[in-house]
Amino acid sequence: MALKATIFKAQLQIADMDRNYYAEHALTIARHPSETDARMMVRVLVFALHAHERLELGRKLTDADEPDLWRRDLTGLIEEWIELGQPDEKNIIKACGRAGQVFVYGFNHAAGPWWQVAEAKLARAKNLSVRRITTSGDATLASLAQRTMQLHCTIQDGQVWLGDGERTVAIECQILR
């Protein structure tokens, strides 16, 4: 018998002063059994960074043809394709052909070495942005994970803070490309 996803609920308040975007989103997050709390919380963080009324959490871990997050226009065309971790370069090139803009967010110790290898292979992808998320440790971001969450995210002058009322995590988003 296959293990089932664990469902998490999050009320996410976003104050993005860089984009002049202020909203609250109710997220239902299905955490795959192979996904860690840290990776799940990175998905929530990246949702906040790209927040939009049509931004959706994808099913990347169960469907290889979907990203971790994506935003489609009203006709179904993919405006933003967002991947986490160290995706295969061939899949990124394919995504660049399907979407208006592709973002990759590395978030652990493997992100730097992955980018050193992948950078040359992805040089021809003109609509690709690659970023690396750093905090005081993945465990800090993971410590915000609970089955029911009340989160707030503040973004100002490129600085990001994600918190739950008791703890706040300062996050740096380094642009690699």
At 34-53, the pLDDT tens digits run: 888 988 999 999 999 999 99
Give the structural domain span for 20. Answer: 6-175
Task: Confirm whether 123 is domain-assigned.
Answer: yes
**CATH number for the domain including 149?**
3.10.640.10
pLDDT in tens, 97-120: 999 999 999 988 788 888 888 888
Task: Confirm whether 62 is domain-assigned.
Answer: yes
Count how many domains the chain has: 1
- Check residue 61 and give its pLDDT: 54
CB 164 within 8 A of CB 156: no
Task: Confirm whether 164 is domain-assigned.
Answer: yes
Look up tokens 């040359």; give the residue: 120
- List Cα–Cα distances, 34 to 10, 39, 73, 153, 177, in angstroms: 20, 10, 31, 26, 29
Tokens read off for 123: 């040089």
- Check residue 62 and give its pLDDT: 56
Task: Confirm whether 1 is domain-assigned.
Answer: no
Residue ranges, the chain, pLDDT below 70:
1-2, 60-64, 136-139
Query: What is this structure's pTM?
Result: 0.90
- Nearest 5°: the CA angle 138, 141, 143 is 105
